[in-house]
Structures are given as structure tokens and as C-alpha cells.
Structure 1
Amino acid sequence: MNGSDDERLPAWVTWRRRLFPDANLLLLPGRRPALVDSGFVGHAQETAAWARARAGAIALVVNTHWHSDHVGGNALLQAQGAGVAASAPDAQAVARRDPGCCLAEYLDQPVSPYTVDEPLHDGQVLRLGDTDWQVIRTPGHTPGHLSLWQPEERLLVVGDALSDYDVGWVNLALDGPDAAATALASLRRMADLSPRVLLPSHGPIPADPGTAFATALRRARRLVDDPAGAVWYGARRIFAFALMIREGIPVADVEPYLHARAWLADAARLLGRTSEALAAELVETMLRSGAVVLRDGRLHASAEYTPVAAESLRVPFPRAWPTTAPARAEAPNPQ
């Protein structure tokens, strides 16, 4: 029995759906126990304990991309002996300790310092658990985004490229005006594999992969055709995440918080507004749509999420990460 109780998954797959601010978990026990993505830093202890209880010592963590909800448990799992694998672009930036790593400071989403032990390249075959998976480069949501393909069972790990209800937001300011078209091309590449099961990073396993791809392709095309809409889409997603990890923000502090954010300044520039005007409009439109709610003097995200302890957010931004790799336990033997 796999951990999701989904009969479409083979017995050697353990899949766990999680609420924001975490990503779903894919655990592959076996001779090389592996975990795909590691959730948010505020829940790292829970992630590591869950994985160890079901697979023993984790040998490898594979990140679909480097956003905070996917790499937050890396540091703890690495300290416990796991290696970390990520796309080559992400690996190179983390190795250099670029200030922009994980977009942690840009998005104001904390990530504990980690290193990448295994850079991954398109088409590379990776042993996870007791099975081989192919690395599929799928940029768009981030330039380093990757997916994982298991051809025998036709399982496709899609990261944030799509879900049962959404597609990943794109950053036109940092990644250029073609980011949405790149995401659309990646979706087409994944659809061409004709997977039997999609494993998204958020939400449930889609009942019908073909329908999920058709919906995602339509939504991605809208992001290409409407760049302003794509900017708004990203801004709403980023702001909702900020509210989730902080258990809301006091009403008086909301607009000053937004005025200080680099992502909002970039969005305002692309939309031809001032940061102040965009912040006010963002709050107003999200309140009107019900995406955020006012409760007890604080603005909250209305979507269901898992609370985060405030002290867990107090980790350094990448510009202050140590340049040497953290000490770790002896890695488990994959043989």
C-alpha cells in the first residue's frame, strides 16, 4: 500500500498531499531512499521525522526547483546525512552563494542554508529508491525547474508546472518577457509523454492527466497572451503566501510591508504603476474576491494552510549564508 491510498500508484511509492506553505512529498524507499522536495523550513522537523519513519535514513533529496516550499527541509535532512540534488542552474547559483538563491530575499520567504551535492541535467537517469527516473528539464515557473519521469509506470512528477486546479506563476520581471512562453513549451513537452499519473507539488493527484494538461495549456496560453494578467497572478500568489507563513499581517502594517518588497516594485514597474498604488489595489482586489479576509485586525489568506511558528522564520537570507558546507552525519550507504 502506498502512502496516498491512490490505487494508481505502485506499492513502492509513498505520496503525501500537504497544504501550503508546504509542497507535497514523494518518498521512494529502497536501497537509495529518496525524497522529492522537502517542504517549508517551518515544518522541516516534521518532514524529516515523517520520511525517516517510512524509509529510514534518507540518502537523497531531489528538488523540482528552489522555492521555499520545496527546499525548506534540505538543511536539516542534509545535516542528517542526505545528499541534495537539483537542476544544474540552481546548483551553480547555490554553490556560488548568489544573493538571489531560492528567491528567498526577493520573495521574503526564508530558506535555511544548504548545498547541492548533485547537479542534474536534462535526460539524466537518476536512481531513486529502487527505480530509475529520468530528469526532464521544464523551465518556466523558474528557470531551473525540473520534472521526473518514471517510464515503466508512466509516472510524472510535475513540480509547480501544473496542478489539478492551476499552473505555476511566472516571473516576467526576473526571467524575461518569454517566461510564460517557456512555461507553455514545458507543459507541451510533458503532455507529449502521455503520463498515466501526474504527481503535482500542490493539490490532489489529478483524476485524468489528459484533462489536467488540456486545462493547464489553456491557462498557460492566457499567461502568454496577457502579460499584465501574468504579473497580477504572480503578485496575488506571492502575497497570499506571505500572509500564510506569518499567520496574517496587522492591517496597519500591510501596505508598508508591501512597499518594501522587491517583487512588488518589479510588478508595479511592469504594470506602469507606483508601488503604493499597486499595493493598495492588490489588497482591495484580493479582499473583494475573497482571496484574503480581515479577521481580528489582521489580513489573512483565505485558503486553508498549515500554521508556521514565528521563530522558524528567523533564518539568514542567502547573502549571509556560510560559504562552506554544513557539517552532516555520515551519509547512508545506497548499496
Structure 2
Amino acid sequence: MAQPTPPSSSSQPPPTLPSWLTWWQRPFPDANTLFLPGRHPALVDTGFVGHAEETAAWVRARTGRLDLVVNTHWHSDHVGANALLQAHGAGIAAGAPEAEALARRDPGCCSAEYLDQPVAPYTVDLALADGQIVRLGDTDWAVVRTPGHTPGHLALWEPEERLLVVGDALSDYDVGWVNLALDGPDAAATALASLKRLADLAPRVILPSHGPLPADPAATLAAALRRAQRLVDDPDGAVWYGARRIFAFALMIRGGIPAGEVESYLHARAWLTDAAALLARTPEALAEELVATMLRSGAVVRRDGRLHAAAPHTPVAAGTMRTPYPRAWPAADELSGVVDRLTS
């Protein structure tokens, strides 16, 4: 989850994708989606729950059977159609740390409650380990563990065409935010180490979860390494970076928030309370400063009495926000009944 900015002004043409995959660049609040047809039809990431039906329809238009969904990580914009696709027979694969937490039904799954972002209940059928080879479509991809943005974040590497699916580790204009409160003070350094590992692969094509395909992968990786180093060098800046992105996403999925209610909304958020503690501020002071800063920068705009994220995004139906948090999810072995109701 990262706030978009204008893409690179590079004059290079976009890289050529092989004919055996389909890449769907999606606006926020959805992550980009990758489809791999063949003997083992597979999807990488499934967008936001408010657009699950749209994702499922897109998949149905391309295959009559989906074998596997691979999630780069468990944030809401990447796993939103998991439940619906699983209901229709797809297996779900995820990095081992997140798969284990989902199997236990930890209340913190998907950071859904922490970030106040809805995720429909699903289970993970295949836990992926670093270096594991997984067949997607008709090609073999290596799992590359890339913690930082989340502890279970992973990338996927296809060496023949030198294709690299990077999730939220980086994009053409950004790097993933890190959570120093939940994941510890070394989270930024961990993210930087993951980026160095990706850069060592020297990909021909980078497939990011947000924004366009980078025209110059080497330059994009070099810029990402510089950005990640700044997060390591400036922990307060890393906290602010995350807070701005989480708040912008909250505005996107809610169709904005009434201006008079924004600060009270923020005061109730665990992520803001944690950020305030790291910055030695009160939640009230941080909420006020966050809103004012983002209004001044133009990242947030006031329209019709509401504050809205300025970045392009697709509306979300209000009913989406009633999806229960993971602490109220059924146990994994009880999910079949929930899945039946989702498709009835």
C-alpha cells in the first residue's frame, strides 16, 4: 500500500511482456493483478474486497478454472478477492509467516483491524518458503522472501525471461512503507536488505503492485535503494511516511471522511496511536498535524465538506466496510459454510 505519484518521465519504452501472461494495472485501492494461464492457471494478488466481484469476473473471462492465488503479502488491497475465488475452487498460497498466522486465526491477521481495512475471511492452502519453486500457469517461479513492508512479504522470480514480481517492495516511484511500531526498529533495514536482494537478480521486467511497469528496471531499483536508505537513516521520517499512506488509503476506501469527523476518526486508530508514541506526540497533536500537512501538500483535498485522497482511485461501496475483523472470523475448518454463503 503506497500513495501514488506521477510515474517516471523516462523516455524508454515499457519492457516487453511474454505472451503467456496478462498483467492488469489497477488504480487504488486495488493492487495490480497478474494472471498466468496454462495447465495450472494462477493469479498473483486479488485486489480490494470492495471489488472482489470485478476481480472474479476478470478471471472468469480468461479461464474456466483457477488453480491457485499467490499473495505477495496480506494487506487488504492484495487479498480482497481471496475468499470469493477460494469459494470457486482456487487454492491460496502465501508466505510462511502469514500462512501460519492465518491458520491460527491470529486477531492481527492482514493488519486488518490495526489499519481499519476490511478483509473477507479466507484460509491459506500452501505456505511458501524462501527458494521454493512453484508452477504458475506453465512456468516455474522461485519464491524470494522479501520482508520489510510486512514480515511475510514475498517476491516471485522467473529466470528465463528475468521477470520479477515485487509486490509492495518497490514501484516506479516509491517503496513500501514500514511499520516500526509493529515490526520493530529494524524493519526499515530489513526492507533495504530485501531490496538489495532483488537488485542482485538484475531483472529485465519489474512487475510492481502499484503503478506502471518501470521502463528502466536498473534505474528503478537504484532509486528504490536510495529511498529505502533514507527510511533507515530517518526513523521519524519512516513513521511519517507510513502514516501518510495509511491515512490516504483510509480516505480512498471510505469515499472520503467528513471534515469535522476526520480527527476523531484518527484518534481511534491503533496505527496513529503507535505513530504518535514513536514521534513523542499525543495522538491528538499528530492527527492535527497529519491532516494539515497532507492538505498543504495536496495529497488530501477538501470537497463537499469531506476530505478526500487526491490520488486517482476507484470508488468502493459503503457496505464493504462492514466486513468483520479477523478476530471475528470463523476458524479455518469452519470456513466452508462462510464460503457457501459468499456465493449463494
Partners of 2:15 and 2:215 within 8 A in 1: no
Whole-angstrom distance in 1 between the partners of 2:74 and 2:143: 16
Of 186, 192, 195, the residue aligned with 1:187 is 195
Residue 284 of structure 2 corresponds to 276
Counterpart residue type for residue 259 of structure 1: H
Counterpart residue type for residue 204 of structure 1: P
Residue 10 of structure 2 corresponds to none
Deviation at 1:325, TM superposition (A): 4.5
Residue 129 of structure 1 corresponds to 137
Partners of 2:14 and 2:215 within 8 A in 1: no
Residue 5 of structure 2 corresponds to none
Residue 64 of structure 2 corresponds to 56
Establish whether residue 105 from structure 1 lines up as the match of residue 113 from structure 2. yes
Residue 326 of structure 1 corresponds to 335
Whole-angstrom distance in 2 between the partners of 1:67 and 1:123: 22
Partners of 1:42 and 1:312 within 8 A in 2: yes
Note the 1:147-296 alignment, pairs <5 A: 147-296=155-304
Residue 45 of structure 1 corresponds to 53
CA RMSD of aligned residues (A): 1.1
Whole-angstrom distance in 2 between the partners of 1:186 and 1:56: 36
- Aligned residue for 2:335, secondary structure, equals coil
Establish whether residue 28 from structure 1 lines up as the match of residue 16 from structure 2. no
Partners of 2:15 and 2:213 within 8 A in 1: no
Counterpart residue type for residue 264 of structure 1: L
Stretches of 4+ aligned residues off by more than 6 angstroms: none
Describe the shift of the 1:35–1:259 C-alpha distance in structure 2 as closer, same or farther (beyond 3 A).
same
- Aligned residue for 1:66, secondary structure, equals coil
Deviation at 1:6, TM superposition (A): 6.1
Whole-angstrom distance in 1 between the partners of 2:14 and 2:303: 37
Deviation at 1:7, TM superposition (A): 5.9
What stretches of structure 2 of length at least 5 have no aligned partner?
1-12
- The share of aligned pairs that are identical, in percent, is 77
Normalised by the length of structure 2, the TM-score is: 0.93
Counterpart residue type for residue 158 of structure 1: V
Counterpart residue type for residue 100 of structure 1: G
Normalised by the length of structure 1, the TM-score is: 0.96
Whole-angstrom distance in 2 between the partners of 1:194 and 1:325: 44
CA offsets, 1:155-186, max 9 Å, x none?
00000000000000000000000000000000
Whole-angstrom distance in 2 between the partners of 1:251 and 1:130: 51
How many residues align? The count is: 325
Deviation at 1:72, TM superposition (A): 0.5
- Aligned residue for 2:103, secondary structure, equals helix
Residue 114 of structure 1 corresponds to 122
Counterpart residue type for residue 294 of structure 2: M
- Aligned residue for 2:323, secondary structure, equals coil
- Aligned residue for 1:54, secondary structure, equals coil
Partners of 1:33 and 1:58 within 8 A in 2: yes
Describe the shift of the 1:189–1:79 C-alpha distance in structure 2 as closer, same or farther (beyond 3 A).
same
